Amino acid sequence: MKEIKNTEKLILFEEITKSVKKIYRQNKDDEKKEKFLIYSFIKGNIDYEYDGEKIKKIIIEDSDEFPSFISQYGYGFSERSLNNFFRYKFNDNKIDTIILSESKTSTRQKSSLVLNYDDIELLLKLIRQEQRACDDTKKTLIKNLIVDIFPDVNFDYSETNNNKDLILRNLNDKLIAKLTANEIQALGEFYVKATQKFKAGHIIKKMTAGLMKNAQILSLQEIIIKYEKLLTENPAESEWQKFFDEYITLFDSRYVHKVNYKNIATGITKYPDLVLVDIYGYIDFYELKKSSTDLIQYDKSHKTWFWSKDVSMVIAQVSDYIQKSKENALPYAKTIKEETETDTEQGLEVNIINPRAIIVIGHTKQLDTEKKRNHFKNLRESLKDIEFVLYDELLERLKNLLASIQTSATLTPDNCPDDLPF
């Protein structure tokens, strides 16, 4: 073992055995002159000893040099807060090693955390920025106190926390939980002022679209949770009717109005569960059955599948809606306009031209063979102006819609995906 470096407080020693080179540290103030292993050069890596409560080793991969953020004398990360975190605050019992890499993406590998150099450098930049902002805030608070107590002293009052990056990083869910109603109102007023900075209409449109997207995401997340609960409970048709009546215009924006059909004479003896008007003024009838309703039955003599009794009845039912609405198209449209008219708004103009009926019913788990699926597909596509939507299909569409909105958060309003199509 030979001495390779002598500083004011330390002596470094080198020990070479076969293909491994080890570096030790000795404190000059240590009367026992104990030597502590700092790191070893092994197979192109630097194995760095670390005294964390959980992290015991740092491997500097594919290198014989230290990155700027690691101490060559065995004291871990150069940045104190980062070092303290991995030494004392990191408490995952399954992780004992950190691998530092210039080429690999930051990820987890079994009992190791791989950290890319660039990610650490960015983190250190943010920490330094935060520290500078904190120091600036402290100075400003001191100066403002002097101004408040001694107004004749030649200082100007300054606003604190004017660091843009610091403010933006703190706009998170934890902050929302701490805000009062007045503070939220102040944020809203700030947002209005901020939009006035931009004269270009497309920028304001984009910012507004972003807020609308976030609101839509929150609404869809709530709708999906309630929908999944109903699908599990398999409630009565009336419960599904309440759900669709409350939420369908939120998850299918084609529809802009629900018609209170029970106040409207249509010549129909039994009312559909929902009557919806789309953005073009066309009418759709919705009929809701239970998710457990049998879809098809087997005909042994012909070795084929046909509609179940319940489905046949609902097909006849919605066919009657469609036929009666066509026969009474003009008085139906007139009555809708009169019933939806208010003292401030004109009544709704609707088109009773080829109205559709959408039947929400059943579950794909009933179609557990390819033959069943094919026969159901053929039966489904044979109907004119009548569409079938299975409950789990709709749930999947809701989830896909949510995913597409989340994915398209950075898109402009002009090329965002459409809402859920039936």
- Over residues 112-171, the pLDDT tens digits come to 999 999 999 999 998 998 888 788 888 888 888 888 888 887 777 776 655 666 677 777
Q: Is residue 243 over pLDDT 60?
A: yes
Q: Which of 186-190, 263-267, 318-322, 410-414 has the lowest mean pLDDT?
A: 410-414
Neighbours of 407 (CB within 10 A): 10
Domain ranges of the chain: 234-389
d(CA 46, CA 63) in angstroms, rounded, equals 7
pLDDT tens profile 360-403: 999 999 999 999 999 999 999 999 899 999 999 999 999 988 88
Q: Is residue 198 over pLDDT 70?
A: no
CB 63 within 8 A of CB 45: yes
pLDDT at 286: 93
pLDDT at 145: 86
pLDDT at 411: 47
Q: What is the mean pLDDT of residues 346-369?
A: 91
Q: How high is the mean pLDDT of the chain?
A: 85
pLDDT at 162: 58
Q: Is residue 36 over pLDDT 90?
A: yes
Q: What is the mean pLDDT of residues 227-246?
A: 91
CB 363 within 8 A of CB 289: no
CB 324 within 8 A of CB 268: yes
Alpha-carbon dihedral sign for residues 120, 124, 129, 135: positive
Q: What is the mean pLDDT of residues 190-195?
A: 71
Most confident of 104-108, 180-184, 298-302: 104-108
Q: In this structure, are strands 97-101 and 274-278 parallel, antiparallel, or unpaired?
A: unpaired
Print burial letters for 230-241: b (CB count within 10 Å at least 16), e (below 16).
Answer: bbeeeeebeebb
